[in-house]
Structure 1
């Protein structure tokens, strides 16, 4: 089945945000069966191609929005992915840590604590990648 131009655009944006190595790792470990491949195709087209490809906000800002929303709804696996995107789009570890700490007054310290644990581990992982 041929993929749409929006799908192709979404794959390019996803690669830019996450990085080639992470895309390959996710494709091999998450989207490696027919059910999850359908989800990945949908996300590539609808989320990355249509949402991330919209004008009005740059990718750096969109990445921070995802970090904040993931934290607010306790979406820890997604937070790890979106923190990687935020780092790849130019946010520093210090800026992301401060954004998460700022949320403590709005979503609560237990939530922020968990988000900071995710951030700590992801930042260490990324430093180890070079």
Structure 2
């Protein structure tokens, strides 16, 4: 696959996972300074890694949520909560991911993750 193919595959995957509205906003905010970085993300994160056949999107979302909790990347965590639901994870499964993360990433991080998830996903106790 060449860079153009990776970009096209990445853009399609990015839109499916994050939602077209988010990707459209990100694209509209591109500047001369950030264009290369946005292309890099689209080609490699989305076109190279997220499109690989070894894991399904549910698993990739679970891993991504855990990594974002571990690193404290909270705005990305909020974005990927909605993506995880779009990828088929239930609210209960997301809660289990956050709980599991408490053991390996720390209770304070998981506590904050639960707080953000409650806000992003709502307090409707949806499974």
Between the aligned partners of 1:118 and 1:38, the Cα distance in structure 2 is 31
Between the aligned partners of 1:42 and 1:49, the Cα distance in structure 2 is 9
With structure 1 as the length reference, what TM-score do the two structures score? 0.84
Give the paired residue count. Answer: 121
| CA drift at 1:26 | 3.1
Which of residues 24, 40, 43 in structure 1 aligns to 2:41?
43
Question: 1:32 is matched with which residue?
Answer: 30
Output aligned runs, 1:1-130, within 5 Å: 4-28=4-28, 31-124=29-122
Cα RMSD of the aligned pairs, angstroms, is: 1.7
| CA drift at 1:68 | 0.6
Between the aligned partners of 1:58 and 1:89, the Cα distance in structure 2 is 9
Structure 2 unaligned residues grouped into runs of 5+: none
What are the superposed Cα offsets for residues 4-32 of structure 1, whole Å, 9 maximum, x if unpaired? 1110100000001011122223333xx33
Between the aligned partners of 2:39 and 2:60, the Cα distance in structure 1 is 20
With structure 2 as the length reference, what TM-score do the two structures score? 0.85
| CA drift at 1:102 | 2.1
Between the aligned partners of 2:26 and 2:91, the Cα distance in structure 1 is 23
